[in-house]
Amino acid sequence: MKDQLRVDGFTATSSRVLSYATPSDWYPGKVHWDLVFVYDVDIRGPVRKLPWWKELRFLGGAELQDADFGWNDDFMRDLELVG
pLDDT in tens, the chain (83 residues): 888 888 889 999 888 999 999 899 899 999 999 999 999 999 988 888 788 878 777 777 777 776 666 667 788 788 887 76
51: in domain? yes
59: in domain? yes
pTM above 0.75, yes or no: no
Provide the number of structural domains found in the chain. Answer: 1
83: in domain? no
- Structural domain boundaries enclosing 13: 2-78
47: in domain? yes
pLDDT for residue 31? 94
70: in domain? yes
pLDDT for residue 70? 65
Measured between alpha carbons, how far is 19 from 33 in angstroms, rounded to an integer?
7
